[in-house]
Amino acid sequence: MGIPIEKLLWMYEMMVKIRHYEETMEEVYMEGKTPAFNIGAGTVPGEMHLSNGQEPAAVGICAHLTKEDTVASPHRPHHHAIAKGVDLNRMTAEMFGKETGLGKGKGGHMHLFDPNVKFACSGIVGAGIPQAVGAALAAKKRGTDAVAVAFIGEGAANSGAFHESLNLAALWNLPVIVVVEDNQYGISVPKDAATAVESNHLRAPAYGIVGERVEDNDPMEMYKVSERAVERARNGEGPTIIEIETYRFLGHFQGDPELYRGEDEVPTLREKDPIGRLKEYILLEGLADEAELTERENRVKTLVDEAYQFARESEYPKPEAALEDLFSS
């Protein structure tokens, strides 16, 4: 199929790692929020947007990226951050509001910044796209072959930032890839009630660039489509829009009553769990055996557990540290 075994296994274990991270967060997030749900209470307060089910979008393209490539992620950033190699301990500590966090507790779950692996995210829909364009512009000016990837939800493709940024990226022929995660909903509003085209990759010709779509949340297809897009970008052939049909197993955020979804919708999606499907493929093709996969699963799960442990054991910042880090001079 053209995907190196090592890459396939990397994608598999990375998806397991992400899922274990998010499932752990589901539990941790509810600590201190029962019996009455209070968003500001508990170990991890504030909004929480989890990515269970959306792993293929992140791993399929991050498999082609290095530390030198930039990723701009939106409000649902964990799968991208983990796949990009963001420091897991400090990322988790950030969500716990601890001083060892990536932003010393000033950012939280929607504002994770790890300049060591060039990862950033924003809680504002569509806002990361122009910043990815800027990272790509910097790469071009400096003559490196780095690329920039902006992940967005399908809802963000209707923002002005999407149009302005893609026009600019195409005009300047920049190495930018916009990955549209079509999880079918902008919070509660279904895609077909918000978007005039069936798929956002169809908007690519409007900018004179390539657009591709990945169906059915398929990590291997995402890998292949991304491989082409990253190669084009590195070769100076400009931007790409990739839309992937993906599945949001949970609500928009934790605590979302999901009244806008039919009862059997999520169970049907879960039957198509991309992790199980990839595992099945690997075993069927004999690329690894059950024991090897289990070993890999255990290894990454331990890393996740250690990250949560690190976050728990870390100290809160001193309150007056709120006044620091506004300016560097």
Partner 1 sequence: METAKKQRLLTGNKAMAEAIALEMEKNDDVFVLGEDVGKYGGIFGSTEGLLDKFGPERVMDTPISETAFIGAAIGAAAEGMRPIAELMFVDFYGVCMDQIYNHMAKIPYMSGGNVKMPMVLMTAVGGEYNDAAQHSQTLYATFAHLPGMKVVAPTTPHDLKGMMTSAIRDDDPVVFMFHKTLQGLGWMDQLDASVGHVPEEAYTVPLGKAKVAREGADVTIVGIQMMTVYALEAAERLAKEGINVEVIDLRSLVPLDKETILESVRKTHRLLVVDEDYLSYGMTAEISAVVAEEALYDLDAPIKRLAIPDVPIPYSRPLEQFVVPSADKIYEAVKEMLEE
Give the x-and-dash track for 48-87 against partner 1 (CB under 8 A).
----------------------x-x---------------
Task: Select 152 or 168, whichever has its Cβ closest to partner 1.
Answer: 168
Is residue 148 at the binding interface for partner 1, with CB under 8 A as the rule? yes
Under the binding rule (CB under 8 A), the answer on residue 164 touching partner 1 is: yes
Give which of 33, 136, 120, 126 is closest to 84, Cα–Cα. Answer: 120
Instruction: Answer yes or no: are the C-beta atoms of 69 and 118 closer than 8 Å.
Output: yes
Q: Residue 138 burial (CB < 10 Å; 0-12/13-18/19+)?
A: middle
Asked whether position 234 contacts partner 1 by CB under 8 A, the answer is no
- C-alpha 47 chain-centroid distance: 16
Q: Establish if 173 lies at the interface with partner 1 (CB under 8 A).
A: no
Is residue 158 a contact point for partner 1 (CB under 8 A)? no
Residue pair 60/225 in contact (Cβ under 8 Å)? The answer is yes
Rounded Cα distance between 207 and 234, Å, is 19
Q: Minimal distance in Å, beta carbon 230 to partner 1? A: 18
Out of 43, 167, 173, 188, name the contact with partner 1 by CB under 8 A. Answer: 167
Nearest CA-CA partner of 72 in 161, 9, 3, 203: 161
318 binds partner 1 (CB under 8 A): no
Do 166 and 241 contact (CB within 8 A), yes or no? yes
Residue 88 touches partner 1, criterion: CB under 8 A: no
Min dist CB 172 to partner 1, Å, is 8
324 binds partner 1 (CB under 8 A): yes
Q: Out of 44, 62, 135, 209, which residue is the one contacting partner 1 (CB under 8 A)?
A: 135
Inter-residue contact 302 to 19 (CB < 8 Å): no
Indicate the SS3 state at residue 283.
helix
Q: Say if CB 50 and CB 43 are below 8 A apart.
A: no
Instruction: Tell me the per-residue interface mask from 270 to 309 with partner 1, x by CB under 8 A, - otherwise.
Output: ----------------------------------------
User: Where along the sequence are the contacts to partner 1 (CB under 8 A)?
Assistant: 70, 72, 101-107, 111, 113-115, 118, 120, 122, 124, 127, 129-139, 141, 148, 160-161, 164-165, 167-168, 171, 324-329
